[in-house]
A and B are shown apart, each in its own frame.
Chain A
């Protein structure tokens, strides 16, 4: 079954997604389309709703209206349902917060398998650790015995162990050092190529997003500012002044330049 699912990439269609908390609209009618096997980025500043979009896709945030649909599969599954979670997994921002501090790596990786009733835990755990470049020597360690980069690899292994077709990445490298970030980004790209995965990646770093993703969406205060291809952004073909100001900001400090 593993080999079969890995070959059929799934895409995702989000249409007029709206999330609000006590009347505060965190995501306002956002629509986008991610073709199977591609990589889609969401950029924005804190509070722009970019993480909430991801959380709403996998059912961690309540959808007020709008639809989330899997593309390319034979049947569609409701977001947040067990069958949906089997296909769509998430990697969280902070590897210091997202791993249970009192569970060994082995137990962390066994849990999703137990939830989904998958039998060959032994081989899957070993393979997952191999795939993220850690090896079985890490299997019985606790999170506090690992560095930040190693923890994020475990978080990626935990997401991959179910062999999902879509990976939701919420700032997967922003808690890591630059050199470790490069390793994790390379790992993600490598995994995507090998497994024909679809990525939706949230980041505040334009360089990281354009490195990983082919297309991206810029968000501000819950609204979609612009949807464009990474190549357009790199070439400066952007329509919205907000996107431009983000680009300028990411270029670094310029003395005498007017702060936006």
Chain B
């Protein structure tokens, strides 16, 4: 939609496979293709659809036994699959960053929040300790934490879920990435906090002109937030939808997913259930 000129990220025929118990390979992602500009892209699917593995493969965080293949996996001209590990490391966290689901498990429990942000920054840029702290505080402020000085010194267990998630976003943004991959960034949070975190992500994307990939199981939330949505089922993209185009969804899986959600005010008893047809997984 609003993607300008050349895309930031090109993914073509991405496949991720894991060894199965019978010695064969099990494909979790089976030929996913998309391009990402400076926009908000949503990837929606249920558990096992391959949405998280898609995000992880882009970052190079697939588990070591997994096999990643693609015709093209390019980030602003760099071939991600064949570049030297050192370059990949520099990109990861530096120009492509990731926000994970649950701040309780993804922050280091024995390091203060401030120290973790500084560590990220100094891994990617050469800055003095004083400068690093200043930038960490600014980052905390940019995710609307009221008292950054105080939060800087706290340990993850001392803050609420919403605060922890904001700290993680601050950490991911400190190196000023071009792409942010957010894997279920709000599903561990309360609804009202969810919206605050999304509003922060939204502002950061538009202010900094980042590309955002929002991976989520929540079709309604994603459709209210993203410019474009990919619906995944059994490792494939079954449908691509424009913002607000949920009502015009064509694929029976997308329509089924919409129908089985209870809605405030619409009383459908019993709820429609999803009939998974084998041909969708072909």
Q: What is A's interface to B at a CB cutoff of 8 Å?
A: 45-46, 148, 177-179, 181-183, 185-186, 189-190, 204, 206-208, 210-211, 233-234, 245-247, 249-255, 259-260
Contacts and interface: CB of A to CB of B under 8 A. Distances in A.
Given A178-B217, A206-B264, A249 B191 contact: yes
Nearest to B219: A178
9 contacts: A45-B190, A182-B260, A185-B271, A206-B264, A208-B262, A250-B191, A252-B221, A253-B202, A260-B195
A186 B261 CA distance: 12
A246 B270 contact: no
A253 B198 CA distance: 8
A32 to B, nearest CB: 22
Most B Cβ at <10 Å: residue of A178, A182, A259: A178
A189 B274 contact: no
A186 B271 contact: yes
A163 to B, nearest CB: 23
A189 B224 CA distance: 30
A260 B194 CA distance: 10
A179 B260 contact: yes
A179 B46 CA distance: 8
Nearest to A235: B265
B264 A252 contact: no
A207 B270 contact: no
B273 A253 contact: no
A69 to B, nearest CB: 30
A177 B262 contact: no
A186 B192 contact: no
A178 B190 contact: no
Contact of A179 (B161, B193, B196, B257): B257
A252 B272 contact: no
Contacts of B123: none
B220 interface: yes
Nearest to A209: B262
Contact of A177 (B47, B191, B202, B221): B47
Nearest to B189: A46
A41 B38 CA distance: 43
A189 B196 CA distance: 34
A204 B194 CA distance: 12
B274 A182 contact: yes
Contacts of A206: 264
B256 interface: yes
Given A45-B192, A249-B191, A255-B202, A178 B46 contact: yes
Nearest to B256: A179
B263 interface: yes
Contacts of B192: 45, 245-246, 249, 260
Contacts of B195: 249, 253, 259-260
